[in-house]
Amino acid sequence: MTVIEHIWPWPWWGVMVAINICNLAICIACFRNSLLRPDGNSTYVRNMRIMGLVFTLVALYRAVFVSRYLYQYAWFDTLANSSLIIRIFAWGAELSFAGLIAFAMLRFNRDMARHDDSYALSRYEKLAPYGLILCIFVAQFFATGGLITKSRLLFAIEESLWSAGFFTILPLAIIQFRRASKQALPSSYIMLRRSSQVLLSWCVIYCSYGLVYHLPTEYWATALEQLRTGQPQLKTDFSAIKDAFKSVNVTHHYPDWGFGFVLWHSAYFSVCVWLSIFLMRAPRYLGAEQQEALPKGRAH
């Protein structure tokens, strides 16, 4: 065992927990600030802040109780670290994450069309955000099934659906970025412009990560190997659910977690949370009243 493998667990865990505690503090501040806006009780703004809070809370929980589904590796010997419990929480968090992105894009379409007479929406632009939500929703079933049955194929399909969802909205992200950047828009469009920049960057990075590394090297290669060898064996009886709930295999051994998991976990519970906090501010067209309510300098 190298020195790095020996000392890595608690510094890494501590940094991730500290980041997520800070994230929660920022999230709560954004939540409270959202309530004070003139349109703070509108359905869109309310839903965005709730989804952002849900994702941030679950992220903190999962940063504390680190879990790797397939082997049910856990950081602590407690039922709170149960992979099945964490997977149930992940349903709400991941659908909230998809909802934040989809709703922001739908709002961009609505506000740009309402305030720009030259803005015409295609059928694709209207439907693409719903495609993202559908992909992430269906992915939840495969992730839960993979956890219970220990099927690498189900996990590979789940991750493929995540990539498919973001590939679905990638052209829309490009369209929205170009439309928000093609001309000098007034300050009332500042939140829409910034959201288009952030979401395009996110889609490009995530799609590249999934296509080049995440799917081919971490998921499909091992899924095909399991199909070929039959190992590890699938679990298909009722006891598999009980095992997914109760089995907690505590380990802090770096090779058990692996580079791919540590990279994914570190990015998921930092970058993804930052994105959700950014989006929970509910990017939208700002009328004069909303601009006046922003802290000085924000609308310019």
Contact assessment for residue 291 and residue 187, using Cβ atoms and an 8 Å cutoff: yes
Mode of pairing for the β-strands spanning 73-74 and 249-250: parallel
253 Cβ contact list (under 8 Å, min separation 6): 5
Q: Is 72 in a helix, a strand, or coil?
A: coil
- pLDDT at residue 297 in the model: 45
pLDDT at position 269 is 98
Full pLDDT tens readout for the chain, 300 residues: 565 677 899 999 999 999 999 999 999 999 999 999 888 889 999 999 999 999 999 999 999 999 999 999 999 999 999 999 999 999 999 999 999 999 999 999 999 887 666 667 889 999 999 999 999 999 999 999 999 999 999 999 999 999 999 999 999 999 999 989 876 777 888 999 999 999 999 999 999 999 999 999 999 999 999 999 988 889 988 999 999 999 999 999 999 999 999 999 999 999 999 999 999 999 999 874 454 444 444 443
Query: How far, in Å, CA of 194 to CA of 171, rounded?
Result: 17
DSSP 8-state code for residue 189: G
Report the predicted TM-score, pTM, of the whole model to 2 decimal places: 0.92
The predicted pLDDT at position 298 comes to 43
pLDDT the model gives residue 187:
83
Instruction: Yes or no: say if 132 and 97 are a contact pair by the CB < 8 Å rule.
Output: no
Of the chain, the end-to-end C-alpha distance in Å amounts to: 54
Q: Where are the domains of the chain?
A: 3-293
Residue with tokens 């976990």: 265
Q: How far is Cα 276 from Cα 292, in angstroms, rounded to an integer?
A: 24
Radius of gyration of the chain (CA): 21
So what's the pLDDT on residue 4? 67
Burial readout 157-181 (b: 16 or more C-beta within 10 A, e: otherwise):
bbbbbbbbbbbbbbebbebbbebbe
Task: Give the whole-angstrom CA distance, residue 185 versus residue 177.
Answer: 13
CATH topology for the 3-293 domain: Rhopdopsin 7-helix transmembrane proteins (1.20.1070)
Q: What whole-number distance in Å separates Cα of residue 228 and Cα of residue 222?
A: 10
Instruction: Return the pLDDT at 246.
Output: 94
| Alpha carbons 239 and 140: distance in angstroms, whole number | 21
Give the pLDDT of residue 296.
47
